[in-house]
Structure 1
Amino acid sequence: MYHFTLSIAKLVVRLYGKVEVKNQHLLPKNEGYIVTCTHRGWLEIVILGICVPNPIHFMAKKELFENKVIGWFLRKINAFPVDRNNPSPSSIKQPVKLLRSGEVIGIFPSGTRTSEEAPLKRGAVTIGNLSKAPIVPALYVGPRTLKELRKMKKATIIFGEPFYIKTNSKEELATYTELLNEKTNLLEKQIGRME
């Protein structure tokens, strides 16, 4: 179902507009990794899926799974629920297990769709620390809807250098969260220089 849905998404997005991917060569090829991305609309989820060569297992808020039909579809395309307000140990165990088996996890660290900068939550760095998998920061710039894409707005995804986390300290996890934020902000400056 993931590949079928992705094929349809590619067709629709290419019909509507242009997608540009930068630094795709930085994505790890022989191990599982976490890709984090800014989250200002739903379109970047689709375009991130198109630009990452491997299937992505997205962490999604549990409220999306309350509708049985939507929940069924989300599970079929590799998404899994997480309680953002009260994350359970299983919400960490599942992505860690997937990463150790070489899969790709997609996380939106701000935890919400917003047009303003939101504080990053600690989930991505916690999972990266436990799984020993690298984190690849990504930034999306462009339209938020198909309607905006249709108006010939270019959609761009840029990837940053992968980095690893190794710590036993909660304080250091907070520092790594800030580092991820800084790396994401640097991508915004980098993409500006490339335009």
Structure 2
Amino acid sequence: MNLYPLGKALCSAIFYPFYRIKVIGKENFPKDGGVLLCTNHIDNLDPPVVGITCPRTVHFMAKEELFELPILKSVLPNVKAFPVKRGMSDRQAMRKALTLLKEGKVVGLFPEGTRSKDGQLQKGLAGAGFFALRGDAVVMPCAIIGPYKPFKQLKVVYGKPIDMAPYRERKASAEEVTAVIMAEIQKLIETNN
């Protein structure tokens, strides 16, 4: 059962007025083809907020523990999320993400791997670079600029797609590509704060 459209409508009705969400750069988002959407992570509400502001359906990679929680275990798969084991190489999650990208879908991930405790951008994990290099997709940097406070403006900024061709050609490392992605996210935070 696909609950994505219903979830998007419900979350939009609540979050847009409550957090006065302002979306910047939506026109930068590719209309079709595989997209690796890389976003900073400042709150548990980041996935639904990105989900409602993104012009396309996002397949979020979510930590496996969430799929063990009573309500979420039945909801998450129906809103296009799929589990990933943190702290180890999860081949099943890797295959799933690469397949989705190859099929021209949008895969969303938080390169930091976990929420930032102080709201500052943390170092990204190599996984983002791995998917960026191996996936047949463009990379979209996205910044959520908080705080999540009722009736205080929350911004979601979509940058310009990062062309991965030069990095693939010279066989750049996953770490280097992750650093490039994180620098783009940092730039979005600084220019829109």
- TM-score above 0.5, yes or no: yes
Contact 1:43/1:143, CA 8 A, preserved across alignment: no
Judging changes above 3 Å, is the alpha-carbon distance between structure 1 residues 30 and 171 closer, same or farther for their aligned structure 2 residues? closer
Which residue identity is paired with 2:101? L
Judging changes above 3 Å, is the alpha-carbon distance between structure 1 residues 8 and 121 closer, same or farther for their aligned structure 2 residues? same
SS in 2 for 1:167: helix
What TM-score, normalized by structure 2, do the two folds share? Answer: 0.89
List runs of 5+ in structure 2 lacking aligned partners.
none
% identical equivalent positions: 25
1:122-153 CA-to-partner distances (Å, cap 9, x unmatched) read 11221121122011000001233xxx22xx20
Which residue identity is paired with 1:154? Q
Which residue identity is paired with 2:173? E
Contact 1:58/1:80, CA 8 A, preserved across alignment: yes
Contact 1:57/1:78, CA 8 A, preserved across alignment: yes
Q: Does 1:128 align with 2:132?
A: yes
1:31-64 CA-to-partner distances (Å, cap 9, x unmatched) read 1201111111022222211111111100001111
Contact 1:132/1:164, CA 8 A, preserved across alignment: no
Q: Distance in 2 between matches of 1:170 and 1:85?
A: 24
Q: Does 1:177 align with 2:178?
A: yes
SS in 1 for 2:176: helix
Would you say how many aligned residue pairs link Structure 1 and Structure 2?
187
Q: Distance in 2 between matches of 1:160 and 1:26?
A: 7
Deviates more, 1:40-49 or 1:55-64: 40-49
Aligned partner of 1:24 among 26, 32, 54 = 26
2:101 corresponds in structure 1 to 99
List runs of 5+ in structure 1 lacking aligned partners.
none
Q: CA RMSD in A?
A: 1.8
Tell me the CA shift for residue 67 of structure 1.
2.4
Tell me the CA shift for residue 168 of structure 1.
7.8
